Amino acid sequence: MQEYEQKGIRMIDTVPRNGAHGTKIVFGSSQINEPSFARTLYGSVRARRYMDREKRLAQLKAGRAEALLGGGERRIISQHKKGKLTARERVKLLVDPDSFEEFDMFVTHRCTDFDMQDQKFLSDGVVTGCGTIDGRLVYVYAQDFTIFGGSLSKTVSEKICKIMDMAMKMGAPLIGLNDSGGARIQEGVDSLAGYADIFYKNVMASGVVPQISAIVGPCAGGAVYSPAITDFIIMNKKNSYMFVTGPKVVKTVTHEDVTIEMLGGAMVHAQKSGVSQFVTETEEETYSLIRNLMQYIPNNNLEEPPIVACADPIDRVCENLNTIVPEDPTKPYDVVAIIKSIVDNGKFMEVARYFAPNIVVGFAHLNGHSLGIVANQPEYLAGCLDINASKKGARFIRFCDAFNIPLLFLEDVPGFLPGVTQEHGGIIKEGAKILYAIAEATVPRITVIIRKAYGGAYCVYNSRHVGADLVYAWPSAEIAVMGPKGAVEIIFRKEAEKAGNTEEYLKDIEDEYRKMFATPFQAASKGYIDDIFEPSETRRRLIRAMEMIASKKDSNPPKKHGNIPL
């Protein structure tokens, strides 16, 4: 009897209504009546089974409660003091209420070196499962910094790989919330093997399901390569950083003094390296941004992007566009203002805003349909294509093509950026990336030439000659091998020298050249442009055009893969 009392089980003699003696067995707050013919507690099969069931339920509840605490209350408090949320708090903010189904809550590591067998926590450093965002299935993993600093063990890797496999099987997006100190050193090569397993799954999932990475804490060493393979990286300004080698290693090897923020902070990767596509001020904003991004992208490469309700009139006239482009072709304007005038409700989700600002890329809706937009920005470098702009544009175009998102190009490009730095940096190879990405894209593609379309940049930038489905132009469009000033200086150089007053002579010739060649009408006369229309009609014309080419069926020649100039 004493043995069971120690386990919280009490036995009390009772006299039931029929007068027979019985025994009441009390399990905590639960109780049953057992008849007196049970000679002993061990002899009662029903009692033993009931006790086993109650014990197991109690174990389950206790285990879940323990798992929900992660590394314990002290570490949770420490996490909050740093301004960071716990893994499960993050998941709760990301997915729809009560939609998250957690997997492998009771998993623990298998390491026995360095007394690790005495340091085990349920879930072992990562929370994995599935949930919904606006009713759409997504798979999520969130590294738990309260357990061994979120370090990666073999079991953590197995948990992540498991949901990556599930995401591909079910055709659902994969979202990773990264907050980890790196490899679990105690596990040695097992930890490295775990990283490699994840990298391989990332590559296999690329172009099959969208992959989104949020960096909400440290992400260093080999761990950075998993987010780098994914489609989008969001970094939080306050607590996130990414680098292959930290400040101490940099100091030892290169003798450079650098802080964590200077080496791998959110704005460094948003502005300089281009590693991060989005930057947020708070964690809450991070998860709101991911939910917003999901409005534009499909679940997988076999589905179309979601269609949203559109209250913005299809035939809305954009009068402001008739005067937005300055008459002086050397003066800039903001192409984002044009984009917001055209798209539904003026909502434009810009991607990689801080990197290569001379090209603008992002998502919008047009009559409720998702659309990828690529536009030159005359406010920066006159909209020239340079190395970074080419890489930024190419990556975005390839994502849209992989996931069936139609593309709209707004063109005002005077050419590729000249200079020794660009040439030595490989503008030939890097510039070819955007050409390659555009030419191989099989999604519907439309170009609107707003102003300049000069030289090789005209060819590259979704011209009819590289497979554009429709090419339109505004009356302000200038399509030529080069700008009028440069053209007349080459063509009429000898005549200008004979005339004596070179500048005045060339100015008159330039005006004539501009009238004859720097217009869209010559290209239209050759069939290179499908139509020229008033800027105010752009929204209506684009919606009709997209409806017309929405059923496009196209494919590239059979091959293992192309050899893009990387």
Nearest to 416 by CA among 440, 379, 390: 390
Cα-based torsion angle of the residue sequence 36, 38, 39, 43 in order, rounded to the nearest 10 degrees: -160
Q: For 214, how many CA atoms within 13 A lie in the half-sphere containing its CB?
A: 28
Catalytic residue from among 221, 264, 265, 362: 221
Residue type, 431: G
Evaluated on CA atoms 64, 65, 68, 71, the torsion sign reads negative
Nearest Cα to 229, choosing from 246, 208, 212? 212
- Which region, left, alpha or beta, applies to residue 73 given φ > 0 means left and ψ of -120 to 50 means alpha? alpha
> Catalytic annotation on 222?
yes
Q: Kindly list the distances between the CA atom of residue 150 and the CA atoms of 123, 177, 218, 223, in Å, as whole numbers in the listed order.
A: 11, 11, 9, 11
CB–CB of 471/549 below 8 Å?
A: no
Rg (CA), the chain: 32
CA dihedral angle for residue 225, residue 104, residue 149, residue 187, rounded to 10 degrees:
-70
Backbone angles phi, psi at 508, to 5 degrees: -65, -40
- The DSSP call for residue 114 is G
What are the residues whose beta carbons fall under 8 Å from the beta carbon of 320, sequence distance 6 or more?
337, 341
CA atoms of 161 and 184, how far apart (whole Å)? 17
Task: Identify whether 83 is a catalytic site residue.
Answer: no
Of 437, 457, 477, 487, which one is the catalytic site residue?
457
Let me know if 221 is a catalytic residue.
yes
Q: Tokens standing for 170?
A: 């079910």
List strand residue ranges (DSSP E) for 39-188, in order: 101-103, 126-133, 136-143, 174-178
Give 490's contacts (C-beta < 8 A, 6+ positions apart). Answer: none
CB atoms within 10 A of CB 428: 12
Alpha-carbon distance of 198 to 22, in angstroms, equals 60
**CA atoms of 331 and 452, how far apart (whole Å):** 12
210 vs 206: CA distance, rounded Å = 7
Nearest to 403 by CA among 138, 172, 133: 172
28: how many CB neighbours lie within 10 A of its CB?
Answer: 11
Q: Which of 395, 204, 406 is nearest to 296 (CA)?
A: 406
| Residue of 22, 171, 456, 486 with catalytic role | 456
CA distance 341 to 172: 33
Which residues on adjacent β-strands are paired with residue 243? 220
Task: Dump the DSSP string for 1-65.
Answer: -HHHHHTTEEEEEE--TTS--EEEEEETTEEEEEETT--STTT-HHHHHHHHHHHHHHHHHHHHH
Active-site annotation holder among 171, 222, 425, 467: 222
For the annotated catalytic residues, the residue numbers are: 221-222, 456-457
